[in-house]
Amino acid sequence: MFSDPTRLSLSQTADQLKKRQLSSEKLVLAFLERIETINPEINAYITLDRIGAIRGAQEADKRLDAKQGGPLTGIPLAIKDLFCTQGVRTTCASKILNNFTPPYESTVTTRLKAAGAVMLGKTNMDEFAMGSSNETSFFGSVKNPWDKSRIPGGSSGGSAAAVAANLCTAALGTDTGGSIRQPAALTGITGLKPTYGRVSRFGMIAFASSLDQAGPMTQSAEDAALLLQTMAGHDPKDATSINAPVPDYVAELNTGLKGRKVGIPAEYFSEGLSQSVREALETAKKQFEALGAELVPLSLPTTKQAIPTYYILAPAEASSNLARYDGVRFGYRCDNPQDLRDLFFRTRAEGFGSEVKRRIMLGTYVLSSGYYDAYYRKAQKVRRLIANDFKAAFEKVDLLLAPTTPDTAFKLGEKTDDPVQMYLSDIFTINVNLAGLPALSIPCGFDNANLPIGLQLIGRPLDESGILSAAHAYQQATDWHTRNPAL
Ligand code: GLN
């Protein structure tokens, strides 16, 4: 057992809290102290809610004393700064929302707080979740806890770094094109993107509404199951939320890998994959076999089309969603507007960063008359073909195994001048969003520079249990997920 409670996994923490060997207040204070010393180097948090966290912990301790708590009661969480939190500033890492304090709470954070979870603060991210490296944040880059000269991945890089550096017990992220799984892979943690519609999007600041999905970022698959249990479920406030019963993810964790058919998509192991990632994945495949899985080689021919398709559809939706930031109702407003036109123009010119502007321009272009059919409509058709590819694969296998990223974490600044290179690093994650499937990333090794490598498991629609139990079986047999960076 660790003497430092900030090192404990969520399930270990819950156990100690329940047995009253640990108080939530003591735990929160330990995190706040650790954040004070370590966060200045990592920049994982944008806003801390010290008073709210201590108060929440005290209430949780009362519930736990009265034996009324559940598995999340008193658990300190870090929340990506795009979940609206009532009374706590929510910026989406943008200057345009720098002064925005929501008057309401997102469904996901409402559910977690009702279960007794405690919010430590709001984590850094790419501006409006647009990016793969956390370098587009108005609040500066997040540093990878394994090597501070490198990116933590994006867009949920603050949440990933906070979990990896033990600055929270677990965190929330969102994944539109990989933003939970990619930073999870690059920081050596577990990250799950649920099926589109499994978790309510109400109160999440929208980027691309047909792709956005919230999920847990944790030390293990078991911890992810514990968080998802409370996050998942139908919400009448989100018209795209699925009205289907939520299984008992924790009880189903021990299904094991015996007899499960695991597809190995050839396109994910072709050119562009770095040597170290390839080797770690080869070893992991053998471990899956040893655990009883049957590996089935197969093909997902539309894999290559995913990047152009996503980088048409996501900006199109973003250009529409971000039209609301105009300096009129909330958020940043330019000084001394001359007239309404000047107010709109300068507010947006001054309030948005350059990547966000690039996406708005791209999106506006592909939706404009004369180009709509050539780009937007075409991309929608390709999106269907991509989903069909996965559908055909899941007629043969139960889940898919693939790398999460082509390479380990790159250097800060390495790709900032070349957006296309940056977009290409999403090659293995965005297909899953286009098809609406659940997928997770777990650590499966390290490269020569001691940087974590991620393994991705992709499941059938609503089969979060299938990928969580496979990940759990692997984590019972390996210890990659228990390693910590030296800080
Ligand atoms: N890197 C992708 C993008 O920039 C994915 C972002 C996300 O999942 N939020 O759009």
Residues 165-186 have pLDDT tens digits of 999 999 999 999 999 999 999 9
State the distance from the centre of ligand 1 to the C-alpha of 466, rounded, in angstroms: 25
Task: Output the pLDDT for position 272.
Answer: 86
Asked whether 61 and 25 are in contact (CB, 8 A), the reply is yes
Per the structure, the count of domains in the chain is 1
**Which one of the listed residues 23, 24, 80, 465 is annotated catalytic?**
80
CA of 423 to the centre of ligand 1 (A): 8
The pTM of the full predicted model, rounded to 2 decimals, is: 0.98
Mutation test residue for ligand 1: of 134, 418, 430, the one with most atoms within 8 Å of CB: 430
What pLDDT shows up at residue 2? 53
**Considering the domain boundaries, does residue 160 fall inside one?**
yes
Asked if residue 159 belongs to a domain, the reply is yes
By most ligand atoms within 8 Å of CB, the mutation choice from 176, 355, 420, 434 for ligand 1 is 176
- Residue span of the structural domain in which 54 resides: 5-255+455-482
What are 126-157's pLDDT values in tens digits?
A: 999 999 999 999 999 999 999 999 999 999 99
Chain mean position to CA 384 = 24
Q: What is the mean pLDDT of the chain?
A: 97
Whether 213 contacts 457, CB under 8 Å: no
Can you say whether residue 445 is alpha, beta or left, with left for phi > 0 and alpha for psi between -120 and 50 degrees? left
| CATH code of the domain covering residue 233 | 3.90.1300.10
- Is residue 174 in some structural domain? yes
The answer as to whether 334 is a domain residue is no
Residue 301 resides in a domain: no
Inside any domain, residue 42: yes
Predicted confidence (pLDDT) at residue 231 exceeds the cutoff of 60: yes
Q: Is residue 357 annotated as part of the catalytic site, yes or no? A: no
Q: Report yes or no on 300 lying in a domain.
A: no
Q: What pLDDT does residue 1 have?
A: 47
Q: What is the pLDDT of residues 82-138, one digit of tens each?
A: 999 999 999 999 999 999 999 999 999 999 999 999 999 999 999 999 999 999 999
Q: What is the pLDDT of residue 3?
A: 78
Asked if 283 and 445 count as a contact pair (C-beta separation under 8 A), the reply is yes
Amino acid letter, residue 457: L
Question: Span 424-432, mean pLDDT?
Answer: 95
Percent of the chain with pLDDT over 90: 98
Rounded Cα–Cα distance for residues 404 and 304 (Å) = 15
Nearest CA to ligand 1 atom 10: 130
Q: Ligand 1: residues within 6 Å at CB?
A: 129-132, 155, 175-179, 207, 314, 426
If you average pLDDT over residues 426-438, what whole number do you get? 97
378 is catalytic: no
Residue 286 lies in a domain: no
304-313 pLDDT tens trace:
999 999 999 9
Average pLDDT over residues 226-239: 98
Mutation pick for ligand 1 pocket among 317, 405, 426 (CB with most ligand atoms within 8 Å): 426
CA distances from 237 to 4, 107, 324, 474 (A): 40, 8, 19, 37
The protein residue with its alpha carbon nearest to ligand 1, atom 5, reads 177
| Catalytic status, residue 155 | yes
Residues 6+ away with beta carbon under 8 Å from 309:
379, 382, 383, 386, 434
Q: Two tokens at 310?
A: 């996503």
| pLDDT for the residue numbered 244 | 97
Distance 462 CA to ligand 1 centre (A): 22
pLDDT at 45: 98
